[in-house]
């Protein structure tokens, strides 16, 4: 089947629009100077400029696919360079050829015999893979005229599972087992969200209070605070926010990998009086056994451990689950290998009965991950207990189909695709270093 399609694609005079041959890939370095206002600041990332390696796939049918991966400013050009290196594996292929063996295509990108040395499946090369595959999924959803979550929900379970590379996870989840986990039912309602916008580390107390007041008025009931730089500050800030939101609303805290294992346990214990639901990223994202020790120590205090936004791939998530090292799985739409790898993680989390609460924020992450969490709810978990999706209220105005939040819920997107198309005017203004936003910056 694949070979046949390839032959068709290569026939110069063959122009069946429905094959959607990818004839061009462009990638641009797009940066937003968010560090100027301390948006996104935390204990380890003190001055992030939310940025993206932004990919556009052109096809011979005239349809276009948009994808991105999220970065923090400096170094985005390295991811751009990596996307350019992957382009030769994408351009010239037909969409139908890709999706009819999506597992094979995924492995083509992640296991190139020379390039895999640079990862494998981690860091820059995996971020680049995510950007490319996000664009492919966007293109696929557009050709079907559906938002991505609907494309997933409508898909035969067998086809869905055929998108996953089970290499290295079969000791926990096999293809047959995965098939049995996908439900065929359909439901539609908003998905609960929590907000991180109120309490970035760099915000002064007055701003924090004002933002809490505003958020409560808009219906928010779940709040996250950045901690980890200074214990006294953390106590003060947690006290303020707990007072502002009252005893019944939910509070989470996030240290962004600031501590070693023993330090995490002792620091978080001192914040237990504010009853956080979870401590997020207490230590290195690579330290499975460290997270397990922290989970064990904090369980008697009723505090769970959440991590995942810098968890590099499905093999790491597998072990976090095996070792009971987390109580909340935070998938990321741009660090893992796109929908394909996130499907594997959603199914493993379900098997271990651990709720998924995605990482979002940055630029475009809310737009992307809403599709994954809707799919998870409808077809995998069918459960909202202890489940919610992060929300950050920055930079949505730059997308052609921004997220819709109503009463602290993500409303299901309706437009075809994966919701990560940016306004062309935004891309041009924010392209680094030649866009006007950066050219005019006095730095």
C-alpha closest to that of 413 among 363, 368, 360? 368
Q: Which of 310, 324, 386, 428 binds its own copies (CB under 8 A)?
A: 310
Asked if 20 and 57 touch (Cβ cutoff 8 Å), the reply is no
Write the burial class of residue 386 (CB in 10 Å: 0-12 exposed, 13-18 middle, 19+ buried): middle
Q: Considering the rule CB under 8 A, would residue 176 count as an interface residue with its own copies? A: no
Q: Strands (DSSP E) along 203-298, which ranges?
A: 222-226, 250-254, 278-280
Q: Which of 8, 24, 45, 275 binds its own copies (CB under 8 A)?
A: 45
Residues 326-355, mask of contacts with its own copies (x by CB under 8 A): ------------------------------
Q: How far is the CB of 356 from its own copies (least distance, A)?
A: 20
Burial annotation 65-87 (CB, 10 A radius, 16+ → b, else e): bbbbbbbbbeebebbbebbeebb
Alpha helices in 299-400 (DSSP H): 314-322, 338-351, 365-375
Q: Considering the rule CB under 8 A, would residue 170 count as an interface residue with its own copies? A: yes
Q: Considering the rule CB under 8 A, would residue 318 count as an interface residue with its own copies? A: yes
- Which residues on neighbouring strands pair with residue 91, listed in sequence order? none
* Segment (H or E) for 194: strand 191-195
Q: How many CA atoms, within 13 angstroms, populate the side-chain half-sphere of residue 188?
A: 7
Measured CA to CA, the distance from residue 328 to residue 276 in angstroms comes to 13
Q: Which of 11, 15, 17, 74 binds its own copies (CB under 8 A)?
A: 74
Q: Which is nearer to its own copies, 179 or 411 (CB)?
A: 179
Q: Which of 2, 179, 301, 315 binds its own copies (CB under 8 A)?
A: 315
C-alpha closest to that of 286 among 251, 310, 322? 310
Q: How far is the CB of 17 from its own copies (least distance, A)?
A: 33
Q: Which is nearer to its own copies, 315 or 411 (CB)?
A: 315
Catalytically active residues are 226, 359
Q: Which of residues 366-395 bind its own copies (CB under 8 A)?
A: none
Residues 242-281, mask of contacts with its own copies (x by CB under 8 A): ---------------x--xxxx------------------
Q: Which is nearer to its own copies, 85 or 411 (CB)?
A: 85
Q: Considering the rule CB under 8 A, would residue 82 count as an interface residue with its own copies? A: yes
Binding site for its own copies (CB under 8 A): 44-49, 71-75, 77-79, 81-82, 85, 111-127, 166-171, 257, 260-263, 283-290, 293, 310, 312-313, 315-316, 318-319, 322-323
């Amino acid at each position: 089947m694949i070979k046949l399609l390839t032959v068709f694609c290569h026939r110069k005079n063959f122009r069946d629009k429905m094959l959607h041959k990818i004839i061009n890939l462009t990638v641009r370095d797009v940066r937003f100077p968010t560090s100027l206002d301390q948006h996104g600041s935390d204990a380890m990332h003190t001055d992030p400029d939310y940025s993206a390696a932004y990919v556009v796939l052109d096809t011979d049918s005239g349809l276009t696919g948009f994808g991105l991966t999220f970065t923090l400013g400096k170094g985005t050009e390295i991811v751009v360079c990596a996307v350019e290196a992957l382009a030769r594996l994408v351009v010239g292929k037909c969409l139908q050829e890709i999706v009819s063996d999506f597992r094979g295509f995924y492995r083509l990108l992640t296991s190139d015999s020379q390039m895999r040395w640079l990862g494998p499946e981690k860091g820059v090369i995996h971020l680049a893979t995510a950007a490319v595959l996000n664009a492919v999924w966007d293109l696929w959803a557009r050709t079907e005229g559906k938002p991505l979550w609907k494309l997933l929900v409508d898909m035969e379970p067998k086809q869905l599972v055929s998108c996953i590379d089970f290499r290295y996870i079969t000791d926990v989840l096999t293809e047959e087992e995965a098939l049995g986990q996908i439900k065929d039912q359909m439901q539609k309602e908003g998905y609960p969200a929590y907000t991180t916008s109120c309490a970035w580390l760099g915000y002064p107390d007055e701003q924090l209070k004002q933002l809490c007041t505003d958020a409560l008025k808009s219906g928010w009931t779940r709040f996250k605070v950045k901690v980890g730089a200074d214990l006294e500050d953390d106590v003060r800030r947690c006290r303020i926010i707990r007072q502002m939101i009252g005893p019944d609303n939910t509070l989470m805290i996030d240290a962004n990998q600031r501590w070693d294992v023993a330090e995490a346990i002792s620091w978080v214990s001192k914040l237990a009086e504010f009853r956080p639901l979870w401590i997020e990223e207490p230590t290195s994202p690579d330290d499975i056994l460290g997270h397990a020790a922290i989970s064990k120590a904090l369980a008697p205090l009723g505090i769970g451990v959440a991590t995942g936004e810098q968890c590099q791939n499905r093999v790491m998530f597998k072990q976090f689950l095996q070792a009971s090292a987390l109580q909340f799985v935070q998938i990321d739409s741009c660090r893992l290998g796109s929908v394909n790898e996130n499907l594997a993680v959603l199914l493993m989390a379900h098997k271990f009965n651990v709720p998924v609460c995605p990482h979002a924020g940055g630029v475009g992450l809310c737009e992307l991950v809403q599709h994954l969490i809707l799919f998870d709810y409808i077809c995998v978990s069918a459960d909202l207990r202890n489940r919610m999706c992060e929300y950050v209220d920055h930079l949505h105005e730059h997308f052609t189909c921004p997220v819709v939040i109503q009463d602290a819920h993500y409303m299901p997107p309706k437009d075809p695709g994966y919701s990560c198309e940016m306004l062309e005017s935004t891309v041009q203004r924010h392209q680094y270093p030649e866009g006007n936003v950066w050219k005019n910056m006095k730095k």
